[in-house]
């Protein structure tokens, strides 16, 4: 018996004694999938400097190769989000892209339109006062609805850089109406079974007003648009001290939580490895999700099981694949800890008003070392027990460094 197998046997006994169904927990962990972003495999930086990383992906094919490697190492990252036009293939060969991914054991996940990098978008996209530019943004988003059909994606992930920098710069109510009109058109063009995930961000790049500043705005529009529109929660897009797990609980209960962009931050939208700054917050967020997954309410369960878990991080100084693997593992670890919360006992303590007992039940689960359980799950899935060690031992990093060298930029699918 290896070390982690012995540790797993001890943990399994301990959890069984608490009435936790370890087989069900392992099955749930095996079903928990996390999408990685194509843009996380390429060079990236801050507004001050992008440091090139040796071996960083230069094309979308290389990004897909890397995402497939992350999936092979973790066993739980089978899809990759694409960003258009960053990942636009030559001759719009999206069939080729879909096939390339499939040949590597992964699939294309969320399609992210880019309506912020063109010069035309200086004053915004859907919120722009110029009708022609609104239409340009709309055309691109409608194009992305077609791309969803071609790559077999069910998620259109929308983030807008729209806002204003100065009081008086634009009419705030008019911008709201422009957004509502544009989003309505996109909504009506979604593929059958596809959904629109509306992401909010409280500031940046505009600093006076942001057109979708908070979950309330995204929620109000998702309600107006209909069942195929839901809210996307990016962990980096809140003011300090905001209780994100409460937002998650509210949106889940309303059937409007569509997806996550995982990352962590110390100050703002820092793009740090999820769980690296505040693993307790990540655990508490997962507690809400798992409680909904395990609820008696069928609609709530369906919402929770349909949440798109995605990473939205660009690693600037710590490499590319290894930090992505660590991010996936951190999510999995928080999910596993949320799975071992004894919910009946917790509900009892809550009903009795036993504040300290309820709090301790949660923190005991958080403090449990679930790594042997995760190693066991990975072995059962045919993935390496220690994905980071396996990655370094695989020689992949060395190979891509030699083959790709130092690239200043990244390009599309070739
Ligand atoms: C910019 O803040 C951002 O990080 C958003 O979170 C988007 O989801 C992402 O870029 C990709 O467009
Ligand atoms: Mn995001």
- The per-residue pLDDT for range 159-211, each reduced to its tens digit, is 999 999 999 999 999 999 999 999 999 999 999 999 999 999 999 999 999 99
- The per-residue pLDDT for range 52-78, each reduced to its tens digit, is 999 999 999 999 999 999 999 999 999
Q: What percent of the chain has pLDDT over 90?
A: 95
Mean pLDDT of 105-121: 98
How much is the mean pLDDT over the chain?
96
Residue 146 banded pLDDT, cuts 50, 70, 90: very high
pLDDT > 80? residue 412: no
pLDDT for the residue numbered 375: 98
- The per-residue pLDDT for range 394-406, each reduced to its tens digit, is 999 999 999 999 9
Give the phi and the psi of residue 197 in degrees, each rounded to 5.
-105, 120
The residue whose CA is least distant from atom 12 of ligand 1 is 159
The residue whose CA is least distant from atom 4 of ligand 1 is 312
pLDDT for the residue numbered 2: 78
* Residue 233 alpha carbon to ligand 2 centre in Å: 8
Mean pLDDT of 306-331: 97
Q: 3-339+370-404 has which fold?
A: TIM Barrel (3.20.20)
Taking the C-alpha atoms of residue 68 and residue 301, their distance in angstroms, rounded to an integer, is 29
0.75 exceeded by pTM: yes
* Residue 69 alpha carbon to ligand 2 centre in Å: 23
Report the residue among 114, 261, 316 best suited for mutation to probe ligand 1: largest number of ligand atoms under 8 A from its CB.
261
- Give the 3-state secondary structure of the chain: CCHHHHHHHHHHHHHHHCCCCHHHHHHHHHHCCCEEEHHHHECCCCCCCCCCCCCCECCHHHHHHHHHHHHHHHCCCCEEEEEECCCCCHHHCHHHHHHHHHHCCCEEEEEEECCCCCHHHHHCCCCCCCHHHHHHHHHHHHHHHHHHHHHCCCEEEECCCCEECCCCCCCHHHHHHHHHHHHHHHHHCCCCCCEEEEECCCCCCCCCEECCCCHHHHHHHHHHHCCCEEEEEECCCCCCCCCHHHHHHHHHHCCCEEEEEECECCCCCCCECCCCCCHHHHHHHHHHHHHHHCCCCHHHHHHHHCCEEEECCCCCCCCCHHHHHHHHHHHHHHHHHHHCCCHHHHHHHHHCCCHHHHHHHHHHHHHCCCHHHHHHHHHHHCCCCCHHHHHHHHCHHHHHHHHHCCCCCCCCCC
Mean pLDDT of 94-121: 98
CB of 265 closer than 6 A to ligand 1? no
pLDDT for the residue numbered 47: 84
pLDDT for the residue numbered 48: 87
pLDDT > 80? residue 414: no
pLDDT for the residue numbered 401: 97
CB of 201 closer than 6 A to ligand 1? yes
Taking the C-alpha atoms of residue 322 and residue 40, their distance in angstroms, rounded to an integer, is 11
| Whether the bond into 315 is cis, omega within 30 of 0 | no
Query: Counting beta carbons within 10 angstroms of the beta carbon of residue 174, is it exposed (0 to 12), middle (13 to 18) or buried (19 or more)?
Result: exposed
pLDDT > 90? residue 407: no
């Amino acid at each position: 018996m290896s070390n982690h197998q012995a540790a797993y046997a001890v943990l399994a006994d301990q959890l069984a004694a608490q009435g936790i169904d370890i087989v069900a927990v392992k099955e749930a962990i095996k079903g928990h999938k996390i999408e990685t972003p194509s843009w996380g495999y390429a060079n990236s930086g801050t507004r001050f400097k992008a440091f090139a990383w040796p071996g960083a992906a230069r094309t979308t094919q290389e990004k897909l190769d890397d995402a497939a490697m992350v999936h092979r190492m973790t066993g739980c990252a089978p899809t990759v989000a694409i960003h258009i036009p960053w990942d636009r293939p030559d001759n719009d060969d999206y069939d080729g892209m879909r096939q390339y991914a499939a040949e590597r054991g992964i699939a294309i996940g969320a399609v992210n339109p880019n309506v912020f990098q063109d010069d035309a978008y200086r004053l915004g996209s859907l919120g722009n006062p110029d009708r022609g530019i609104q239409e340009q943004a709309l055309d691109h988003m409608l194009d992305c609805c077609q791309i969803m059909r071609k790559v077999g994606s069910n998620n259109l992930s929308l983030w807008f850089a729209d806002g204003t920098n100065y009081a008086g710069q634009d009419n705030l109510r008019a911008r709201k109406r422009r957004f509502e009109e544009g989003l309505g058109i996109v909504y009506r063009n979604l593929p059958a079974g596809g959904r629109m995930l509306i992401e909010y961000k409280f500031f940046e790049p505009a600093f006076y007003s942001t057109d979708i500043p908070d979950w309330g705005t995204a929620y109000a529009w998702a309600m107006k648009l209909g069942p195929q529109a839901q809210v996307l929660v990016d962990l980096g897009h809140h003011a300090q001290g905001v209780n994100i797990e409460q937002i998650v609980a509210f949106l889940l209960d309303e059937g409007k939580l569509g997806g996550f962009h995982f990352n962590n931050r110390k100050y703002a939208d820092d793009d740090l490895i999820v769980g690296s700054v505040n693993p307790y917050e990540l655990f508490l967020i997962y507690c809400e999700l798992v409680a909904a997954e395990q609820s008696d309410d069928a609609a709530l369960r369906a919402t929770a099981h349909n949440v798109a878990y995605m990473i939205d991080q660009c690693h600037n100084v710590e490499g590319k694949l290894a930090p992505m693997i660590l991010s996936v593992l951190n999510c999995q670890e928080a999910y596993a800890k949320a799975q071992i919360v004894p919910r009946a006992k917790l509900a009892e303590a809550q009903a009795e008003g036993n504040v300290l007992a309820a709090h301790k039940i949660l923190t005991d689960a958080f403090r449990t070392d679930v790594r042997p359980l995760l190693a066991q799950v990975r072995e059962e899935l045919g993935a390496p027990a220690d994905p980071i060690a396996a990655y370094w031992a695989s020689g992949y990093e060395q190979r891509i460094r030699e083959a790709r060298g130092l690239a200043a930029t990244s390009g599309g699918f070739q």
